[in-house]
Every structure is written in structure tokens, then in C-alpha cells.
Amino acid sequence: MGKENFFSDLKQKADEYVHLVYKITKHFPKEEMYGVSSQTRRATLSIILNYIEGFARQRMAVRRNFWQISYGSLKESKYLLNFSLIEGYLSQEEYDKAIALAEEIGAMLWTVLQSIKSS
């Protein structure tokens, strides 16, 4: 896979993850609208938004910072999904699908961060 395809694939997977999480959180309890639902959505959106913003930056150190934030937001969203599973806000099937996608994104982001670190 070429470098451009890799970055495009990562962006596509992050976009898919955002839409999946939004779909899942639509069914969370109404009392969580400003709590776990909102926080999960914000963390998930932060993944792709920081990835895109980092991609637009010229200085590698600035780019790396945005991508590190993106990776941190991914970890946050995974925790929130696990918390929501334990609380019964989503099904095991929804959780498994979201986490599988999150793991793919995480591996790709980690690869990007490691390649910057070594260059």
C-alpha cells in the first residue's frame, strides 16, 4: 500500500468509526445525552479532526502533536465504549464491531507516530 493510500485508508476508517459511534450512541439512555453519549461522540470526533488537522500542518513536530492527540482520543473512546458496555448502553455485538475498527485505527495511527519518531 502506497503512502497516500495508507493515509486515505486511515481517514476512511476513522470516518467510519465516527459514524458507527454516532449510530450506537443514539440509543443510549436519554439521561446520558450530556454525559457519556456526548463525551463518547466528542472523543471519537477528536480522532478524525486531529488527524486531519495534523495532516494539514507543515512542521513535523506540530503534525506529530496533533496525531498524538488523535491517538489519545482513540484510547479515550475505547474506554468509554467499554464503560458503556458494562453499563448496558450498547450490545456486545455493537461493542465488538466498534472495538475491532478502533484497533485497526489505533494500529495505523501507531505506525504513523512511530515512523515520524524514527525519521
Instruction: Examine the pLDDT at 96 and tell me if it is beyond 90.
Output: yes
Instruction: Tell me the CATH number at 94.
Output: 1.20.1440.60
CB 13 within 8 A of CB 97: no
pLDDT at residue 118, rounded to an integer:
54
pLDDT at residue 117, rounded to an integer:
73
Contacts by 81-86 with C-beta closer than 8 Å and gap 24+? 81/21, 81/24, 81/40, 83/36, 84/28, 84/36, 84/40
Gap between the Cα atoms of 44 and 51, Å rounded: 11
Hey, is 28 helix, strand or coil? coil
Provide the number of structural domains found in the chain. Answer: 1
Share of the chain above pLDDT 70, in %: 97
**3 falls in which pLDDT band (50, 70, 90)?**
confident
Domain that holds residue 96: 3-118
Instruction: Examine the pLDDT at 1 and tell me if it is beyond 60.
Output: no
pLDDT at residue 77, rounded to an integer:
98
Query: Tell me: the pLDDT tens digits for 46-94?
Result: 999 999 999 888 898 899 999 999 999 999 999 999 999 999 999 999 9
Please state whether the predicted TM-score (pTM) of the whole model is above 0.85.
yes
Average pLDDT, rounded, for the chain: 93
